[in-house]
């Protein structure tokens, strides 16, 4: 590998979120030389830059469907006190939640990159893509001082979350007019968990109906979706400006702290720089308004204060690939199995409305889990480009389930194996699917029903 203004690797991964990191590490595990370019100065994407927490979900109702890198990382973080491991979801949406510490995660990902020999290019963003016929030949990256580096590779992975590289290279993409809204997440400390739980037990009708009747506090971990009446009154009187019907917050890994996922910026395009800038400013205004409301009106928050605001507003949905297969909500509810499965998902279809204050939510029918096929990572326009993470080929509604972090890591890992093997064999990933599947299985990934881990009883104990 040569480093400087030109670089040549087997696999270039663009975007260092959880899917990109998983892809880069798995490509390296399969013997590829790998560069991972990230426009910010941290790995982890939404989990670190936007403080999104907890990871949900690793589990369908009858077993764990996410293994491999995501599970190893959870165990590593847990051993260091940077994750509480898998816990039952106190909100009642998913089977499990996995709280993590964003700073612990950021360090662990960088360490992992060092151990696996992945060259991380922090502060580098996509500037140009050079196509030769229907292949990507090189990608030019620009650093924050306007220096450039041209990276050539036989295979590229787009893990930007926005599909920036796929879009630039000419893949078919779509973006919905009713994209899910953005949220600026913030952390509060000195929250009195017992007081929140006592109120929840006394007034369960003020909270999401799926929540446990004995309250939202389990073994010291809290998660709440509701305070509907408080929010309704405050919005009607004009004290609360946030266009949302509830407050949603979860504990992180620190006593007394909660991560508030409740601001809502609608009608802005996550793939437009100017609209993102406006969204960030609106998110900051909403953060102040919401935190004031919470401390002055919600039980348990009288002494709470904001201790951290995310560096970047969280963008739930932007462009998605229209790939060789477009998975939809019918596949998800039918618990689809595919001959080219590379990962599984189990999160409910969960749509934060971009038009009004509501949230729509459907549990996955039947077994509560489904396969994701390799074809959702592949396009028909650019031979040597894979797309991983939240912008894979799914519909707007299908996306509302596949977008979550455990699934993005599993999909990323699969993309990494596919890219490395495709580079080595000089074959299209679809032609070498059995090799990809075997490589993933040898890394502990969960692909078919027999791989599912039945650890639900351990989960129930918290």
Ligand X SMILES: Cc1cc2nc3c(=O)[nH]c(=O)nc-3n(C[C@H](O)[C@H](O)[C@H](O)COP(=O)(O)OP(=O)(O)OC[C@H]3O[C@@H](n4cnc5c(N)ncnc54)[C@H](O)[C@@H]3O)c2cc1C
101-109, 154-162, 433-441, 445-453 -> range binding ligand X (CB under 6 A): 154-162
The answer to the question of residue 282 lying near ligand X (CB under 6 A) is no
The answer to the question of residue 217 lying near ligand X (CB under 6 A) is no
157-165, 273-281, 318-326, 360-368 -> range binding ligand X (CB under 6 A): 157-165
The answer to the question of residue 159 lying near ligand X (CB under 6 A) is yes
CA angle, 278 as apex, 233 and 405 as ends, to 5°? Answer: 80
Site string for ligand X, 381-420 (x = CB under 6 A): --------xx------------xxx--x------------
Shortest CA distance to 389 belongs to which of 343, 455, 348?
343
What is the DSSP code (8-state) at residue 353?
-
The answer to the question of residue 167 lying near ligand X (CB under 6 A) is no
The answer to the question of residue 126 lying near ligand X (CB under 6 A) is yes
The answer to the question of residue 166 lying near ligand X (CB under 6 A) is no
The answer to the question of residue 52 lying near ligand X (CB under 6 A) is yes
The answer to the question of residue 377 lying near ligand X (CB under 6 A) is no
CA 135, 137, 141, 147 dihedral sign is negative
d(CA 328, CA 37) in angstroms, rounded, equals 30
225's enclosing H/E stretch is strand 221-226
The answer to the question of residue 253 lying near ligand X (CB under 6 A) is no
Q: CA of 72: how far to CAs of 20, 81, 112, 142, in Å? A: 16, 14, 11, 33
Q: How many residues bind ligand X (CB under 6 A)?
A: 38
Q: Which is nearer to ligand X, 170 or 299 (CB)?
A: 170
Q: CA of 164: how far to CAs of 15, 113, 195, 399, in Å? A: 9, 23, 45, 17
CA angle, 268 as apex, 173 and 251 as ends, to 5°? Answer: 100
42-50, 210-218, 275-283, 378-386 -> range binding ligand X (CB under 6 A): 42-50
**Is residue 436 within 8 Å of 429, Cβ to Cβ?**
yes
**Is residue 121 within 8 Å of 16, Cβ to Cβ?**
no
Whether the upstream peptide bond of residue 133 has omega within 30° of 0, thus cis, is: no
* Nearest distance from C-beta of residue 81 to ligand X, angstroms: 21
Q: CB neighbours of 128 closer than 8 A, spacing ≥ 6?
A: 139, 140, 168
**Interface with ligand X (CB under 6 A), residue from 45, 68, 223, 416:** 45
d(CA 204, CA 213) in angstroms, rounded, equals 7
The answer to the question of residue 263 lying near ligand X (CB under 6 A) is no
**Interface with ligand X (CB under 6 A), residue from 34, 46, 105, 417:** 46
* Nearest distance from C-beta of residue 359 to ligand X, angstroms: 12
**Is residue 213 within 8 Å of 204, Cβ to Cβ?**
yes
**Interface with ligand X (CB under 6 A), residue from 8, 76, 125, 254:** 125
Q: Which is nearer to ligand X, 373 or 389 (CB)?
A: 389
Q: Which is nearer to ligand X, 93 or 293 (CB)?
A: 93
Residues at the site binding ligand X, with contacts judged by CB under 6 A:
14-20, 37-40, 45-47, 49-50, 52, 55-56, 125-126, 159-162, 164, 183, 185, 261, 314-316, 389-390, 403-405, 408
């Amino acid at each position: 590998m040569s480093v400087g203004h030109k670089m040549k690797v087997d696999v270039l991964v663009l975007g260092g979120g959880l899917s990109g990191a998983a892809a880069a590490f798995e490509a390296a595990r399969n013997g590829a030389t790998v560069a991972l370019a990230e426009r910010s100065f941290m790995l982890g994407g939404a989990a670190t830059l936007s403080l999104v927490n907890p990871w949900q979900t690793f589990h369908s109702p009858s077993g764990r469907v996410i293994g491999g890198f995501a599970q190893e990382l959870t165990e590593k973080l847990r051993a260091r006190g940077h994750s509480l491991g898998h816990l039952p979801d106190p909100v009642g949406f998913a089977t499990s939640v996995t709280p993590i510490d964003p700073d612990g995660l950021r360090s662990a990902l960088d360490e992992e990159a060092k151990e696996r020999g992945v060259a991380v290019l922090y502060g580098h963003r996509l500037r140009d893509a050079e196509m030769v016929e229907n292949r990507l030949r090189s990608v030019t990256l620009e650093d924050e001082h306007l220096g450039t580096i041209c990276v050539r590779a036989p295979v590229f992975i787009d893990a930007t979350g926005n599909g920036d590289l796929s879009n630039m290279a000419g893949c078919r993409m779509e973006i919905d007019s009713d994209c899910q809204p953005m949220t600026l997440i913030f952390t509060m400390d000195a929250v009195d968990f017992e007081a929140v739980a006592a109120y929840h037990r006394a007034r369960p009708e003020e909270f999401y109906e799926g929540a446990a009747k004995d309250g939202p506090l389990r073994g010291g971990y809290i998660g709440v979706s509701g305070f509907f009446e408080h929010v309704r009154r405050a919005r009607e009187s004009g004290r609360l400006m946030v266009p949302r019907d509830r407050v949603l917050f979860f504990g992180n890994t620190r006593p007394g702290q909660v991560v508030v996922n409740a601001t809502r910026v609608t009608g802005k395009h996550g793939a437009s720089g100017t609209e993102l800038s406006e969204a960030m400013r609106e998110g900051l205004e909403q953060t102040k308004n919401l935190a004031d409301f919470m401390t002055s009106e919600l039980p348990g928050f009288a002494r709470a204060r904001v201790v951290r605001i995310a560096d970047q507003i969280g963008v739930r949905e932007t462009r998605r690939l229209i790939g060789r297969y477009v998975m939809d909500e019918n596949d998800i509810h039918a618990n689809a199995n595919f001959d080219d499965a590379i990962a599984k998902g189990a999160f409910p279809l969960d749509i934060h409305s971009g038009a009004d204050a509501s949230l729509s939510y459907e549990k996955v029918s039947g077994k509560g889990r489904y396969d994701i096929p390799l074809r959702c990572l592949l396009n028909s326009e650019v031979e040597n480009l894979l797309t991983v993470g939240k912008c894979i080929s799914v519909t707007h509604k299908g996306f509302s389930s596949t977008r979550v972090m455990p699934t993005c890591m599993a999909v990323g890992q699969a993309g990494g194996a596919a890219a490395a093997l495709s580079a080595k064999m000089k074959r299209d990933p679809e032609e070498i699917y059995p090799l990809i599947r075997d490589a993933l299985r040898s890394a502990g990934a969960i692909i078919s029903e027999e791989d599912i881990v039945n650890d639900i009883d351990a989960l129930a104990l918290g």
